[in-house]
């Protein structure tokens, strides 16, 4: 299965990005093969509905879960419809996020954890 | 003739200028004041109009019949605002993000999408003495002001053709302001002689220049700050049409919802002169 981590840079030691819709990159990890790839988030330039766009992108990548800091109401609805589970953490690296996911120490959330446009105000 | 009253910075006195210009003109001309600041209309506080009618403003938003959907995804590709999300044959819609362009409905090959009106605000109209008044009110929670602005402007179709329309625009230089100012014959940019007033005026000048609407500047609270605003206007060859002095008595009158031209003869004279300046400047361009 594949998971995605929102990231501020393009490698495993980069800081994770607490924004979902407006995060810079998605690091997509295949937990079966331990391989990973990095995708630029097209949601960063969306006129609106960045979280929806990002959720659609992740659905296309067939990820089962995403690790991020916050999800807004629209992103949450889109992720749920796409069957993507949401796990949240406060800070750390992409590598740390993967480890924490495997150890089962991350918090899974359902529904929005923040208001719309949170990521727009965090750049 | 349509005269819009805009500003970059908020709180510079757009409504004061729009209302008092309308009151001055109404003594000799048919006048309509359109309050296009639909997020916070306030001209009615000074005009105290008797409202005669109201109409809902709606945008057409998509409703999807998933039984007809083939999962082609075209609806999602066309939407610039991500208001429709196809996940295979399951299609989510986000009506509050929809700008009502109709692109998804048009592109759907199986006719699975129909449109339903979503109410985003109202237009109200009435009279304040000799002045016709129209204003729009955006529904709380709706982010989409331009359709309400356009509905206010469209309502003018019911007015005599020779009426002078004064548009009180929202502050800033974003879409609702562009929707308000577009199509004007002349734009008054109201500013104040402060660093913020000057900075935001430069943005407003760029906007009206792009829209190719002739404009001039009204300096409100003249006497505050320093001369950099006047220096800027001179350097850019921008006509200063009027200056309303900074005066505590004017502020007190405004705060009570009063009408400056009725309480202060020198202000009435300033607005009569402003109208002559507008006509003279509009003729030159």
The alpha carbon of residue A56 is apart from the nearest alpha carbon of chain B, in Å, by 7
| Dist. CA A15–CA A12, nearest whole Å | 8
Instruction: Report pLDDT for B157.
Output: 80
pLDDT above 70 covers a percentage of chain B that reads 100
Q: What element of type H or E holds B216?
A: strand B215-222
Q: Above 90 in pLDDT, residue B283?
A: no
Q: Where do the CATH 3.30.70.20 domains begin and end in chain B? A: 66-111
Instruction: Report pLDDT for B158.
Output: 81
Q: What element of type H or E holds B199?
A: helix B195-211
Q: Above 70 in pLDDT, residue A101?
A: yes
Q: Above 90 in pLDDT, residue B159?
A: no
- Number of CB atoms found within 10 A of residue B151's CB: 21
- The residue length of chain A stands at 123
Which residues, at least 6 apart from A19, have a Cβ–Cβ distance to it below 8 Å?
A6, A68, A69, A70, A118, A119, A122, A123
- Number of CB atoms found within 10 A of residue A83's CB: 13
- Which chain B residues are closer than 8 Å to A47 by Cβ? 80-81
Q: Which two tokens stand for residue B11?
A: 């709180």
Instruction: Report pLDDT for B227.
Output: 87
User: Which ipTM did the prediction report?
Assistant: 0.85
Q: Which two tokens stand for residue B215?
A: 């404009």
pLDDT in tens, B183-219: 999 999 999 999 999 999 999 999 999 999 999 999 9
Nearest chain A residue to B88 by CA: give it: A82
Q: Look at the block and give the residue holding tokens 């589970």.
A: A85
Q: Above 80 in pLDDT, residue B13?
A: yes
pLDDT in tens, A30-87: 999 989 999 999 888 888 889 999 999 999 999 999 999 999 999 999 999 999 999 9
pLDDT in tens, B248-270: 999 999 999 999 999 999 999 99
| Dist. CA B137–CA B170, nearest whole Å | 12
Which of A49, A55, A82 comes nearest B81 by C-beta?
A49
On whether the CB atoms of residues B115 and B102 are closer than 8 A, the answer is yes
Average pLDDT over residues B38-67: 96
Q: Above 90 in pLDDT, residue B88?
A: no
Average pLDDT over residues B128-133: 96
Q: What element of type H or E holds B47?
A: helix B44-47
- Cross-chain residue pair A52–B87, CB shorter than 8 Å: no
Which of B81, B83, B92 comes nearest A77 by C-beta?
B92
The alpha carbon of residue B152 is apart from the nearest alpha carbon of chain A, in Å, by 25
- Looking at domain B2-57+129-284, which CATH architecture does it have? 3-Layer(aba) Sandwich (3.40)
Instruction: Report pLDDT for A35.
Output: 93
CA B10 to chain centre: 12
What value does the mean pLDDT of chain A take? 92
Tell me whether A53 touches chain B (CB under 8 Å): yes
The correct CATH number of B66-111 out of 3.30.70.20, 3.30.565.10, 3.10.20.30, 3.10.450.50 is 3.30.70.20
Instruction: Report pLDDT for B205.
Output: 98
Instruction: Report pLDDT for A123.
Output: 55
Q: Provide DSSP, chain A.
A: -EEEEEESSSSTTSBB-S-STT-SEEEEEETTTTEEEEEE-GGGG-SS-HHHHHHHHHHHTT-SEEEES---HHHHHHHHHTT-EEEE-SS-BHHHHHHHHHHT-SEEE-S-SS-TTTGGG--
What is the crossing angle of helices A73-81 and A50-60, to 10°? 20
Which of B87, B90, B97 comes nearest A49 by C-beta?
B97
What value does the mean pLDDT of chain B take? 95
Nearest chain B residue to A77 by CA: give it: B92
Least confident of A109-113, B99-103, B277-281: A109-113
Structure letter (DSSP) for residue B155:
G
**Domains contained in chain A, CATH given:** 2-121 (3.30.420.130)
- Cross-chain residue pair B81–A78, CB shorter than 8 Å: no
Instruction: Report pLDDT for B285.
Output: 64
């Amino acid at each position: 299965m594949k998971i995605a981590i929102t990231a501020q840079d393009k490698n495993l030691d980069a800081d994770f990005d607490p924004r979902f819709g407006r995060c810079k990159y998605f690091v997509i990890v295949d937990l079966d093969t331990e391989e990973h790839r990095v995708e630029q988030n097209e949601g960063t330039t969306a006129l609106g509905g960045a979280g929806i766009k990002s959720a659609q992108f992740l659905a296309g990548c067939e990820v089962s879960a995403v690790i991020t800091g916050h999800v807004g109401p629209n992103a949450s609805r889109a992720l749920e419809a796409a069957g993507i589970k949401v796990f949240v953490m406060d800070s750390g690296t992409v590598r740390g996020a993967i480890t924490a996911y495997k150890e089962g120490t991350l918090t899974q959330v359902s529904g929005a954890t923040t208001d719309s446009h949170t990521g727009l105000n965090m750049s | 003739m349509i005269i819009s009253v805009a500003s970059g910075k908020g709180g510079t006195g757009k409504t004061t200028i729009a209302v008092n210009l309308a009151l001055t003109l109404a003594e000799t001309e048919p006048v309509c004041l359109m309050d296009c600041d639909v997020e916070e209309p306030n001209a009615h506080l000074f005009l105290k109009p008797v409202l005669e009618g109201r109409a809902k403003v709606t945008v057409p938003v998509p409703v999807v019949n998933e039984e007809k959907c083939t999962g082609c995804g075209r609806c999602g590709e066309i939407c610039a605002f991500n208001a429709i999300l196809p996940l295979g044959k399951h299609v989510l819609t986000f009506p509050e993000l929809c700008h009502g362009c109709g692109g998804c409905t048009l592109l759907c090959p199986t006719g699975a999408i129909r449109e339903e009106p979503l109410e985003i605000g109202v237009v109200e109209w009435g009279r304040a003495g000799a002045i016709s008044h129209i204003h729009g009110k955006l529904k709380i929670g709706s982010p989409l002001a331009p359709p309400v602005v356009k509905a206010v402007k469209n309502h003018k179709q019911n007015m005599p053709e020779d009426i002078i329309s004064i548009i009180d625009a929202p502050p800033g230089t974003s879409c609702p302001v562009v929707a308000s100012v577009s199509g004007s014959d002349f734009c008054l940019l109201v500013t104040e002689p402060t660093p913020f007033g000057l900075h935001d005026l430069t943005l407003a000048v760029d906007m009206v220049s792009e829209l190719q609407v002739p404009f001039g500047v009204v300096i409100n609270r003249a006497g505050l700050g320093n001369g950099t605003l006047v220096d800027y206007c001179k350097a850019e060859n921008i006509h200063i049409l009027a200056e309303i002095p900074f005066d505590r008595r004017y502020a007190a009158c405004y705060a009570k919802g009063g009408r400056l031209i009725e309480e202060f003869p020198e202000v009435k004279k300033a607005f009569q002169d402003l109208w002559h300046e507008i006509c003279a400047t509009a003729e030159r361009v």
